[in-house]
Structure 1
């Protein structure tokens, strides 16, 4: 790294005409944005693997916004690797296990695995490992069961895994593996073997059943040999190729899961950053410049400036009004009651981040008396802090989500999305991608969190307006890409219903800074 960067290596491997697989151990990034652009191109041609080192992220401040608290280093690096198509492993051992498979075998078309073993216990261990790695073990069709029964010894159990029993011969196992690799419902075959007295007595070499005829196999085949003294080996095959052999089923399953993920990434079309309508970048930059001129050290925007900035990107916001006195709050509530008749009051002062935690919110206020009482309560409890209140109509019922962006000094703007409301940090159900977002990135953001079924119409419910949700994330991404001074943006909650998407509460922090290239900064 003294004078050769990871970017330099990627570009060399891309153009040398010889490299078929690249392994990287990156402790730091000189220019992650250039690295991501280059890697997206290179990984379409060759696999690029790395060890995701430095995953821990200590010292998150309790006072941070929801976005900053969620944007851990692990999440940021994960977004970079995912978007660039890089296979990120958790250790050097896992790196080598995966490289052995990608080097020696074709990619699986999916994640459906068949397991065959000469010992039931080894098959169970391998099945558990595959399931834990996210791989599927589908049942066989009646036709395939009949074919396997015809070639295996009496007593064989034709499930998945297939227990060929200790009596299986080399010839029988070879035929079994060949038939499984030709099965249309299977994407890969794992052969788990243990040494047996029967095989030693007959002279059968069951490993040869795996390596004898790989040339006619179009799907990846892996061996698991529990007596193997090395974590991973490449076994010479009859056609001059190799078969990866693992000492533990977990290693084989991890490698196969990485291979399936790469195949899925290659099968996806490259995303595009769509054009957006009703964007006023020039006016947004003016809003930012005027705020920073009045606040040279930056800070959290007041509600009016925040709303103006969001309006520049046509971010949908719930109607609201500002009040700095009890009488003004009553008048504002009267104007807003036309939406539903009930209003919400939120205290405000510079630097207030978590209103619910501070008990600075009153919900479902009806009539002037309740509005006055709520204002007096907030004014009393936060005397010397509160500068006013924000009033909004009470929102309809829907799914509360969270969307935000944090400007990473090294990686650039990171967009986060997930389950919102007061449980945002407790449940930590988030996904993240680096801006600018493509249409594929937005799709991943929406479908990756565990709460995704709620958005797509779980249990017969009506899906939320996914088109509007996509637009919100696109506009947030565009705002972050346009404005390097945007340090954090925190939309929580975002209310999603079948009829649309609305930001109920927004926080934006600006800092004085200019666009900069970390790589050029390093060269100065």
Structure 2
């Protein structure tokens, strides 16, 4: 690709978007990312001290590579370009380097052109590192950096025969526009729009590289247990025995300086350095003060993955060692890993785990042990298991990618107490969830739970509303306890997903059937209405006194054969989406085997009152498996959760609309002006608030600022008969609480008196007023933005005005919102009927309300400095929506790209 020298043009502030001015001056944090072969490289800015490494990279390039890159073969070109790349970093250009260990294997840079917002890009990759994803990774990181600094387009001139570079551009997922081709040179323009197509392409590259890196962890050819003890009760000894007795087909080594030549049937050496070959995976069960040195030894020996069982060690230092040597890390403070496909059990579990269909990732080792045992008992089994512990590297994000590529995994079970990159997690889970059900427990919901989660995982506990928003958008089935999790997992593992909410209840005891029908209603399901044909056939089949219309009561006199036929009849009814079969064992007839023998045409859940297990599996013809619950409430909740997953699968993916009328530069100017004045940030003055929100097309009531009674009178005359005055007083957030609002003012005298009252009330603190027309009628709504420190921006929606504090009827979604997200958010609150037309009242303009939510989403994503927006109330009416009060708080924020490929 051609290298050109451009003048050091400075970007005009007006051409930059929110946060770009501050971000432009900030350095880039070094990051590690994975190549296509699973190895990690470090990407960081190139500085003058890197001149020798940059020069060596270019001098090592072949003549052909030099020609393709520089359009010439002069031996001086490489030195000249290296010196220019390593000049002191400025505000207008950027240079990133990729290091594999201590070797620089690639550089990427951009230089500004004469057109504002445009820059020319160039890439160089070492000859021996082609086709491993170095250039694409550098391009992705350069795109992210450039967008944060206000660059909107890359340009490149490249030779037509430089197919490798043209392929990098084409496969990146960015729209490319090839211009004229003159003298064998192609001009390429690349708009830097991180749309869904680009993010999908980045995610696919991440999946491929991530799975490649995890193969050394979950499919190793050799394993070493460092700290394998001789005592049966030792953790290291248990791990070694599980590996050997589990039939792991690869090579297993024990490392123990005092154990002799063999231990538990495996060859034993005194140290990692003494291993006869470099194991792909090392499991460390050594004292905390020995972990750092053993990890260093493993890196030097060429180990590719570490599982650190030990707790109480320095996790950050451990991670730094793993990054330096390119090792993936599980833990520390974990239970181990397992993969049934290769008979790998590197855990200290007391019992072997049945091979099966469930992928499991947990932070708590105790939860992991319980889940493994229960999944084995329920004949679901485990395909892969990872206890991530303190989760310094390998996380639930990695396991989602592994399960997506693993044909043995048919459902995923997660127990996570903290999130490193929630937005990437949500995007990944949304994709994986369309291939398999994903289930989790919402952990840390109580105040005590928050404290326990924080101390247990050394990470901030996640607010419940945010967790539930994340899981809902990602299509993850969220439960509120391990019992509920297992109930739903048993149903989804062994039965198809219900296609509707209509449940047919069949029991041999009428009272139990009524309880089951109530439980279904409580869970959001409804009783199925059986067809006349089905009722007629049931009447002929069942004993006298049976109830045939539903819930079906077969009476206690029913025998197993007729109960099975009853299940078959009901399951074939077109008005039935699922069947709930309940039996009470009696001396006259034991129907416990019959509950799994019929009803195969529809999803079936059984309840056997009196069974000791909360849930178990019963077997029908042909090995059919039916979950059997101890109580009807458990079965109904499981059916409801399965149906909620079905609804999510039926849900359209949705689109993120683009708005052409956004004035990003105006928002940037307002934010920067405020932060220049108040570096710590805070609430914007009312006039700035209204101008900022108006720049993103949010529906605001007409407003005029006034700094005197005369100005207020003139502004009121423009708004009609009834107006409102709102005081502009620094530090006041809730105006109505302190008398900063004067309502329903009619005529000049009212306005003057109201202004005088505000002036007397606040004195010199009064900076003026906002004059607005008085809003009438409609439903009061709250819409807003909250920049959550862990999850990023959230859009909050609910009933507004006084109701928002009294009822707390709110819901939230993570940005970016799609049109489907916005529509669901409106319908997710309990007060939604007030908006959709309650008792004959006309529905409000939900289309305008959805658009307002989508515009808020764009504002939150484009300008992370907008820490909080409170539009309360928005008045929603059939003819439109309008915000009559608004607040905006801005804070200095570091720009962070949640979708950029990088390791933790």
Whether these two folds match at TM > 0.5 is yes
Matched residues in 1 for 2:724 and 2:870: separation?
A: 19
**CA deviation after TM superposition for structure 1 residue 335, in Å:** 3.1
Matched residues in 2 for 1:271 and 1:522: separation?
A: 27
Q: Which of the residues 512, 515, 533 maps onto 1:143?
A: 533
Structure 1 residue 378 corresponds to structure 2 residue 753: no
User: Does the 8 Å CA contact 2:498/2:643 hold for their aligned counterparts?
Assistant: yes
- Write the deviation string for residues 55-74 of structure 1: whole angstroms up to 9, x where unpaired: 2469x9xxxxxxxxxxx922
**CA deviation after TM superposition for structure 1 residue 282, in Å:** 2.9
Deviates more, 1:294-303 or 1:497-506: 497-506
Q: Which of the residues 361, 364, 378 maps onto 2:744?
A: 364
Structure 1 counterpart of 2:597: 212
**CA deviation after TM superposition for structure 1 residue 379, in Å:** 2.5
**CA deviation after TM superposition for structure 1 residue 213, in Å:** 4.3
**CA deviation after TM superposition for structure 1 residue 120, in Å:** 1.5
What SS does the aligned partner of 2:638 have?
A: helix
Structure 1 residue 421 corresponds to structure 2 residue 801: yes
Matched positions, count? 503
Matched residues in 1 for 2:746 and 2:439: separation?
A: 59
Structure 1 counterpart of 2:423: 33
Structure 2 counterpart of 1:49: 439
Matched residues in 1 for 2:872 and 2:584: separation?
A: 55
Deviates more, 1:361-370 or 1:475-484: 361-370
User: Does the 8 Å CA contact 1:111/1:135 hold for their aligned counterparts?
Assistant: yes
Structure 1 residue 24 corresponds to structure 2 residue 407: no
Structure 2 counterpart of 1:63: none
Any residues of structure 2 matched to 1:443-522 within 5 Å, and which?
443-516=823-896
User: Does the 8 Å CA contact 1:233/1:245 hold for their aligned counterparts?
Assistant: yes
Any residues of structure 2 matched to 1:159-178 within 5 Å, and which?
159-178=549-568
Matched residues in 1 for 2:465 and 2:851: separation?
A: 23
- Write the deviation string for residues 117-169 of structure 1: whole angstroms up to 9, x where unpaired: 11122112212211111110133232221111111111101232111111011
Deviates more, 1:359-368 or 1:323-332: 323-332
**CA deviation after TM superposition for structure 1 residue 251, in Å:** 0.8
Structure 2 counterpart of 1:234: 617
Structure 1 residue 98 corresponds to structure 2 residue 488: yes
What SS does the aligned partner of 1:331 have?
A: helix
User: Does the 8 Å CA contact 1:57/1:73 hold for their aligned counterparts?
Assistant: no
Matched residues in 1 for 2:597 and 2:773: separation?
A: 73
Matched residues in 1 for 2:515 and 2:629: separation?
A: 13
User: Does the 8 Å CA contact 1:30/1:519 hold for their aligned counterparts?
Assistant: no
Structure 1 counterpart of 2:708: 325
User: Does the 8 Å CA contact 1:224/1:248 hold for their aligned counterparts?
Assistant: yes
Matched residues in 2 for 1:280 and 1:330: separation?
A: 31
What SS does the aligned partner of 2:592 have?
A: helix
User: Does the 8 Å CA contact 1:115/1:190 hold for their aligned counterparts?
Assistant: yes
Structure 1 counterpart of 2:572: 182
What SS does the aligned partner of 1:472 have?
A: helix
Q: Which has the higher contact order (CA 8 A, sep 6+)?
A: 1
Name the CA shift for 1:296/1:393 in 2 (closer, same or farther; >3 Å).
same
TM, length-normalised to structure 2: 0.54
Q: Which of the residues 384, 388, 397 maps onto 1:7?
A: 397
- Write the deviation string for residues 161-195 of structure 1: whole angstroms up to 9, x where unpaired: 11111101111111110011111111111111111
What SS does the aligned partner of 1:29 have?
A: coil
Matched residues in 2 for 1:119 and 1:335: separation?
A: 73
Matched residues in 2 for 1:121 and 1:467: separation?
A: 46
**CA deviation after TM superposition for structure 1 residue 37, in Å:** 1.1
What SS does the aligned partner of 2:653 have?
A: coil
User: Does the 8 Å CA contact 1:189/1:219 hold for their aligned counterparts?
Assistant: yes
Matched residues in 1 for 2:888 and 2:807: separation?
A: 23
Name the CA shift for 1:167/1:322 in 2 (closer, same or farther; >3 Å).
same
- Write the deviation string for residues 8-37 of structure 1: whole angstroms up to 9, x where unpaired: 111111112110111010010111111111
Deviates more, 1:80-89 or 1:459-468: 459-468
Matched residues in 2 for 1:144 and 1:519: separation?
A: 53
User: Does the 8 Å CA contact 1:494/1:503 hold for their aligned counterparts?
Assistant: yes
Matched residues in 1 for 2:896 and 2:612: separation?
A: 51
**CA deviation after TM superposition for structure 1 residue 523, in Å:** 6.5
**CA deviation after TM superposition for structure 1 residue 384, in Å:** 5.1
Matched residues in 1 for 2:846 and 2:602: separation?
A: 37
Structure 2 counterpart of 1:64: none
Structure 1 counterpart of 2:605: 222
**CA deviation after TM superposition for structure 1 residue 521, in Å:** 13
User: Does the 8 Å CA contact 1:194/1:225 hold for their aligned counterparts?
Assistant: yes
What SS does the aligned partner of 2:573 have?
A: coil
Alignment RMSD: 2.1
Q: Which of the residues 631, 653, 669 maps onto 1:270?
A: 653
User: Does the 8 Å CA contact 1:21/1:103 hold for their aligned counterparts?
Assistant: yes
**CA deviation after TM superposition for structure 1 residue 517, in Å:** 5.4
TM, length-normalised to structure 1: 0.92
Name the CA shift for 1:357/1:147 in 2 (closer, same or farther; >3 Å).
farther
- Write the deviation string for residues 235-279 of structure 1: whole angstroms up to 9, x where unpaired: 122211211000111111111000000011101121111112311
What SS does the aligned partner of 1:516 have?
A: coil
Matched residues in 1 for 2:634 and 2:522: separation?
A: 12
Matched residues in 1 for 2:728 and 2:402: separation?
A: 54
Structure 2, unmatched stretches of 5+, are 1-387, 451-461
- Write the deviation string for residues 462-494 of structure 1: whole angstroms up to 9, x where unpaired: 222222112111111100010010100000111
